[in-house]
C-alpha cells in the first residue's frame, strides 16, 4: 500500500463510521483493498495555441481505471458510507445514467452483494451489457418524460419507493449522499494536485455535482491558488439555468445539484452540447484519443476559459470516461445526423461558433497506457 492510499484509507474509515458487524468489516476491508490497488489515472499533456498564445492542457483520464470511469471512485465512497447498514440479506440499489451502474455492479459483485441499477432509455447499449454481465439486475423506468425531457425524477421516485418498501433494500443515493463529494475531496483531489502541482485551473463536469463539489473542496486545501471551473451543457439545470433538450449522457441534470449548495466554484462554463461533441471528434481525429462526451464538454469549457483569460497558461481537465462508451452515439455519423436539430439548433440559437485551436504537440506523462477495447467487460 502506498502512503497516498494509506491517507485515503484513514479518511475512508472516518466516512464509513462505526463498523461493528463482521459483514460490515468484510465490506469495508474489500473497499480498502480496492483503494490500495487502484491505479493513479494518467494525465496526457497537450500543448496548444489558443487565441494566439501557447498554453498547456493536461487531461486526467479517469476512463483508464478499473471500471472505465471516475464513478469507480464514487462507488467506493457510496458503498463505504452504507457498509455499517449491510447485512447478509441486503440488496443495494442506485439510480444511474450508466457509469455509476457499471462501477457499482462490479464492486457489488466482488463484495457478493446483490445490486439493482435503476436506469432509463438513454442508457448506452454497451453499459447495459456491462451491468448485466456483472450479475446485476437492471430496472428501466419508462413513460412520459417530464418537462425537462428527462427521466431522472422517475428513476429517483422508483429508488425511493423500493427502499421504503423493504428494509433490506439499501439505496446509496448519489444525489444526496455526502459520501459522493467527500470521496473526491479525500481521494481524487489530492491525487490530482500531487500529480499536477503547477496547474492554475481545473475544469470539472457536473451532473450530481459530486465530483466538482469534492474537487472544489480539495483545491482549497491542496492548491488554493488554482481556479475551479464547473463545466455543464446548455439546457442542464445543475447550476440553475433554464432547462432545454440535451443529448449527452453523464453531464448535466434536470435539477440543481444538492452537492453544489455549500461549495462554490470560481467560474462556470455552460457550453453548447455540439461544442462537446465537436471537441471529442476533433481530438480523436488529431490525436487518436477518443474522449467521452462529458470530457469533450470539459475540454470545450477549458478552451473557452483559456481564450478569455490570457493569464492562464496551464489547465487540468478531469475527463470522466473515454470514447469507447460512445461508439454508437458521439462517434457515429448516423447518430450525429439524427441529433442535428438538437445539437445545432434548439439548444443554442443562433449556434455559437466553435473557437479554433491549434495543437502543437502532445505527450503522456509516462508511456501511453493501453486503451480499453470498445465496450470492455463483455
Ligand X SMILES: Cc1ncc(COP(=O)(O)O)c(C=O)c1O
The DSSP bridge pattern shows strands 115-119 and 201-205 to be unpaired
Give yes or no for residue 251 binding ligand X (CB under 6 A): yes
Out of 94, 321, 324, 348, the residue judged to bind ligand X by CB under 6 A: 321
244 - beta bridge partners?
none
Out of 90, 99, 173, 188, the residue judged to bind ligand X by CB under 6 A: 99
Out of 34, 41, 81, 208, the residue judged to bind ligand X by CB under 6 A: 208
Give yes or no for residue 292 binding ligand X (CB under 6 A): yes
Give yes or no for residue 205 binding ligand X (CB under 6 A): yes
User: Least distance in Å: CB of 294 to ligand X?
Assistant: 3
Number of residues that bind ligand X (CB under 6 A): 19
CA distance 205 to 217: 15
Neighbouring CB atoms inside 10 A of 31's CB total 23
User: Least distance in Å: CB of 304 to ligand X?
Assistant: 18
Q: Are 264 and 216 in contact (CB under 8 A)?
A: yes
Smaller CB separation from ligand X, 50 or 102: 102
Give yes or no for residue 188 binding ligand X (CB under 6 A): no
User: Least distance in Å: CB of 16 to ligand X?
Assistant: 20
Q: What are phi and psi of 318, to 5 degrees?
A: -90, 115
Positions 50 through 79 that interact with ligand X (CB under 6 A): 69-71, 74
The residue of the chain with the least Cβ separation from ligand X equals 250
Give yes or no for residue 211 binding ligand X (CB under 6 A): yes
User: Least distance in Å: CB of 158 to ligand X?
Assistant: 19
Give yes or no for residue 252 binding ligand X (CB under 6 A): no
Give yes or no for residue 5 binding ligand X (CB under 6 A): no
What residues line the site for ligand X (CB under 6 A)?
69-71, 74, 99, 205-212, 250-251, 292, 294, 320-321
Amino acid at each position: 500500500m502506498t502512503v497516498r492510499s494509506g491517507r485515503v484509507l484513514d479518511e475512508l474509515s472516518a466516512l464509513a463510521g462505526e463498523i461493528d458487524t463482521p459483514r460490515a468489516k468484510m465490506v469495508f476491508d474489500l473497499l480498502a483493498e480496492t483503494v490500495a490497488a487502484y491505479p493513479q489515472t494518467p494525465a496526457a499533456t497537450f500543448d496548444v495555441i489558443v487565441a494566439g498564445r501557447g498554453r498547456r492542457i493536461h487531461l486526467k483520464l479517469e476512463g483508464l481505471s478499473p471500471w472505465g470511469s471516475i464513478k469507480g471512485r464514487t462507488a467506493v465512497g457510496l458503498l463505504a458510507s452504507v457498509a455499517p447498514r449491510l447485512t447478509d440479506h441486503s440488496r443495494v440499489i442506485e439510480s444511474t445514467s450508466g457509469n455509476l451502474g457499471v462501477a457499482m455492479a462490479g464492486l457489488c459483485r466482488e463484495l457478493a452483494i446483490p445490486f439493482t441499477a435503476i436506469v432509463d432509455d438513454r442508457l448506452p447499449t454497451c453499459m447495459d451489457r456491462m451491468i448485466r454481465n456483472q450479475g446485476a439486475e437492471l430496472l428501466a423506468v419508462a413513460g412520459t418524460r417530464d418537462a425537462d425531457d428527462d427521466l431522472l425524477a422517475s428513476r429517483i421516485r422508483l429508488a425511493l419507493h423500493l427502499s421504503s418498501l423493504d428494509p433490506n433494500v439499501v439505496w446509496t443515493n448519489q444525489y444526496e449522499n455526502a459520501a459522493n463529494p467527500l470521496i473526491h475531496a479525500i481521494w481524487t483531489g489530492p491525487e490530482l494536485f500531487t500529480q499536477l502541482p503547477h496547474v492554475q485551473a481545473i475544469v470539472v463536469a457536473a451532473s450530481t455535482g459530486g465530483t466538482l463539489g469534492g474537487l472544489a473542496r480539495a483545491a482549497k486545501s491542496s492548491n488554493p491558488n488554482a481556479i475551479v471551473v464547473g463545466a455543464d451543457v446548455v439546457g442542464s439545470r445543475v447550476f440553475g439555468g433554464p432547462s432545454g433538450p440535451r443529448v449527452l449522457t453523464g453531464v448535466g441534470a434536470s435539477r440543481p445539484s444538492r452537492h453544489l449548495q455549500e461549495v462554490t466554484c470560481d467560474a462556470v462554463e455552460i457550453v453548447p452540447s455540439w461544442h462537446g461533441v465537436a471537441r471529442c471528434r476533433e481530438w480523436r481525429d488529431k490525436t487518436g484519443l477518443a474522449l467521452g462526451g462529458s470530457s469533450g464538454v470539459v475540454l470545450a469549457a477549458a478552451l473557452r476559459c483559456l481564450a478569455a483569460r490570457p493569464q492562464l497558461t496551464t489547465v487540468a481537465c478531469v475527463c470522466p470516461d473515454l470514447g469507447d462508451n460512445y461508439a454508437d452515439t458521439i462517434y457515429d455519423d448516423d447518430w450525429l445526423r439524427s441529433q442535428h436539430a438538437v445539437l445545432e439548433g434548439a439548444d443554442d440559437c443562433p449556434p455559437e461558433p466553435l473557437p479554433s485551436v491549434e495543437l502543437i504537440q502532445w505527450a503522456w506523462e509516462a508511456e501511453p497506457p493501453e486503451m480499453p477495447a470498445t465496450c470492455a467487460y463483455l
